[in-house]
Structure 1
């Protein structure tokens, strides 16, 4: 039982690959990624490396990978290869507009990379299911129309960025290929993900609030948020991996799109409070936007920034995320064990 994961040396997809291999000692995984294994990934995959194949190639050039993939008995595909040009977190980062640096590459990888994989899949009748990894960036900034309700998959789609636009366009292509060629395929829209293997890579240089707070707290750095009120639906990479595997394993999928999130919001104040439970001496100073090292827009509380409705995936698979506080503490433990100890801290 072999799973192909594109983008599998990066953040969430690397956690998916290891989780898949740990669940079944007979399972195998193939990673297709432009980047090879960095030091952290090499250590992370060490316990399962004998059942993992890594193909270093450009998703947009099938000549680099098609023949090699043909030699593997691939039954499932998770397409997660993407370019994620997001810039937030500090005043200096907020001034950057990374989409303007290489806009064509964003569209090539996020849209045409999806087409290339689908072209390969449609010629492989043994592939049982395809999951496309999309994003909450496809949603608009406000909604739903009922205050306090989590954001559902139907409606409220209005991407503004090249990232969101390319993701939504790719979702539609996945749907059409499924109809044309009889594929069992679905797209997952991820909320704000943090957790194990969250690090800077060549295609993603962004850290959500829980990542930043956890690292600052553990390193003894003063946290200077511009406010304690901004919210996010934060879900860990381990929960996302479990959710995707649940979708791959489900007997039947009743929908084409599934949200994956915690289903609720946490404030910056909540996250800092959880960090203080582990680091009682943690220092926090409310700061202006110009001097803050954690910046979120106070006005962004719903739509893509709010809670995501996860009823669909819960109904079709039984998956549920762990509690937000428990997940955050688990991530702090993981940082100590896998990042700080390896660096001698």
Structure 2
């Protein structure tokens, strides 16, 4: 969020300073570990309609943003495939029903397509003969998060943003406007803003990156499972990001043996070609999460705007959050925020409450 806002505001002629606790590679950010899937219907199984609408909005907005970046960023929109083994058919049926209710509630979402074994093989030949049924969620997509972060770092440098890498700051460290400070302070620190957000917590995620050039999955694939429903996101050059875990913990120690075994075993159960893959990286990070698991924008005092709580949906909702902030800065209100059921908190709203 910080890089997106810095870039767009600099493009609009503002003088921007960016302070980041990490470096250009964003090595301390949850965004570096994420799979960066853009799957509003798939995610509707665990989130609210407003977030789903943000995700649908992002599928149109991301290509516009990426087109203006100085470096290529992998973006794909070939849908999400959901598969399951026979013993997990009841769980899959419950998921299908939830997705159907979402489409009824948000008609602009394309409905899931039911696939039998023949149709599934036609859609994803690499899985031919492995699953009797599946679901295809049309138009969903993904991007390469690390390419995007690198491209944004180049873009903000070219736009004249003064970048202060490896320089952690809090709002208290920045002089007020009356003392020569900035006219606007945008706080996008995630978990770094814990002292300013009551009940902000970290939710641990674990992912494995592997190189499997012999596996030819064409789109993000999710495996229904009652305990660990995994996702497999194919990136470029035979790289796959595999994840599933969502642990209520702020522990950032290395990936556990149990999680590694579950992730890799489930991937192998989807395609046996993963047996010969090479593990590139096993990584953990903590997602900044508010009590309701929803994103928030608030203005605690004049000249300060805070964005937080993007949870597990960061890349999926970032363009919507970006445009809500920009609209608020330009107009003093945001019709987009109302469309996404996003309440922008202001001192006046607290007074009314």
Q: State if a TM-score over 0.5 links the two structures.
A: no
- Structure with the greater alpha carbon radius of gyration: 2
Which has a greater percent of strand?
A: 2
Under a length normalisation based on structure 2, what TM-score does the superposition of the two structures give? 0.25
Under a length normalisation based on structure 1, what TM-score does the superposition of the two structures give? 0.25
